[in-house]
Structure 1
């Protein structure tokens, strides 16, 4: 006869998700927010173009702007500011263009909140270009480890734009059946809701000197004609490897 005291308890008849209903929910995280210099407290930013750099390659491409005073900063309250690169700075590229450099990975539950904080209220761009990367497991097709590739996704407002007016006129579309995840997908979805022109450029590998050159060429032939990137190859490679990381967020197919 089994000893009811020493024998292991039988499996619970409840599923794990059913047991969670007996525990109080975690308190909601504070909303991400923007801060502005004291002399711009009441002035909204209305650029014709907002570039959002998420991938290590795009962050390395604009790394020289770290010495420029930001026009605004995006903060997540749960990230301690004592750790470097826990603030997303927004830099002026020209009188009509801004760059939002987001150097930290944004987890899935926070992606849409960050996208909403970036594009609601004080920053009202006419168009948005997102520079992100993708993982091979999300790509439907074959990838060469020695070749840099980039594709684009567009929302409905950008698809209505024709010819050379497109943000990424010379780039092929992301293959059907492939998936994009991360904050970039959430920002593209937010632009769709707001009816703001938006294009998402995804590249692979996540960081490589050839990817940096590819993105630089696309920008110089398109939305940033004549912009001086002030690149130092050695510093770019070092900076990009530090920023190489994987993003996790909602899916956008």
Structure 2
């Protein structure tokens, strides 16, 4: 008599590849693209400096700068426009590209504020659009926040921390961002990592500046001072305005890994 517990089951009528034929393939998302304010811009743009804001403090600083001109927007087809305002707002899910009007063409500076979510699988597509195709910068500064789940060590919410990663060509330059390197064993992922990798691939001077905590007036002041040091002509007088209002909203978003001892 056959042992029903140990006897091999009968073979399936279908191979695994045949079973997949009954599953509808997922629809591919349309590629992101850039819409410029000028219908016929002279492409590619070749700024001397491209600064990309990803973290909330850097987005706040960018939003507060008075002398900037909207050049265009990066569109993610999967991100809806509903809820966005007519004028640029920190509440919008957008990715706007600005130029600093006070800078001449020979030393043009572009600012990119990434206020929309970019999934890891879409990061490379966005990085190609911002670096190396329509925009070919001489130098790139990326501003992002440290995620405590990726940091090897305990992060205090009361302590301001900043570090950097940079490309090979940036390490050879004479003028660089004066910060300690991101500690070994910690991880950077997502859009910021993809942007820095893009700079390395294209042999562009690139620096990723990461700060902690994610929401803090002290980090806003740090970012403002850092940008002032990189671009001395930058007007950051309005950055410190309404910091209390900004700080009061920061409690709405908390880092779930903040109190974890996993990474100590």
Instruction: Report if TM-score (shorter chain) is over 0.5.
Output: yes
1-side partners of 2:187 and 2:55: how far apart?
16
TM-score if structure 1 supplies the norm length? 0.80
Distance 1:58 1:244, change over 3 A: farther
Deviations 1:97-154 (A, max 9, x none): 1100011221111111111111232211001100001111211123222111110001
Aligned alpha-carbon RMSD (Å): 2.8
- Kindly indicate which of the two structures has a greater share of residues assigned to helix: 1
1:233 pairs with one of 232, 235, 242: 242
TM-score if structure 2 supplies the norm length? 0.77
Distance 1:213 1:123, change over 3 A: same
Deviations 1:158-206 (A, max 9, x none): 12223xx11x1x2100001110122111111111111111000011111
- Structure with max Cα Rg: 2
1-side partners of 2:195 and 2:252: how far apart?
20
Distance 1:82 1:20, change over 3 A: farther
Within the alignment, does 1:216 sit opposite 2:224 as a pair?
A: yes
Name which of structure 1's ranges 85-94 and 47-56 shifts more when overlaid on structure 2: 85-94
Greater relative CO (CA pairs within 8 A, separation 6+): 1
Where does residue 143 of structure 1 map in the other structure? 155
Within the alignment, does 1:86 sit opposite 2:93 as a pair?
A: yes
Gapped regions of structure 2 (runs ≥ 5): 1-8, 85-91, 256-264
Gapped regions of structure 1 (runs ≥ 5): 1-9, 247-253
Contact 1:35 1:74 in 2 (8 A): yes
1:126 pairs with one of 129, 138, 150: 138
Alpha-carbon deviation of 1:207?
A: 1.2
Where does residue 52 of structure 1 map in the other structure? 52
Distance 1:134 1:101, change over 3 A: same
1-side partners of 2:70 and 2:251: how far apart?
21
Report the secondary structure of 2:70's partner residue.
Answer: coil
Q: How many residues align?
A: 227
1-side partners of 2:251 and 2:136: how far apart?
31
Where does residue 207 of structure 1 map in the other structure? 215
Deviations 1:10-33 (A, max 9, x none): 9xx9xxx98984423212111111
Within the alignment, does 1:159 sit opposite 2:171 as a pair?
A: yes
Where does residue 38 of structure 1 map in the other structure? 38
Alpha-carbon deviation of 1:245?
A: 8.6
Distance 1:225 1:204, change over 3 A: same
Within the alignment, does 1:195 sit opposite 2:192 as a pair?
A: no
2-side partners of 1:241 and 1:112: how far apart?
29
Distance 1:110 1:178, change over 3 A: same
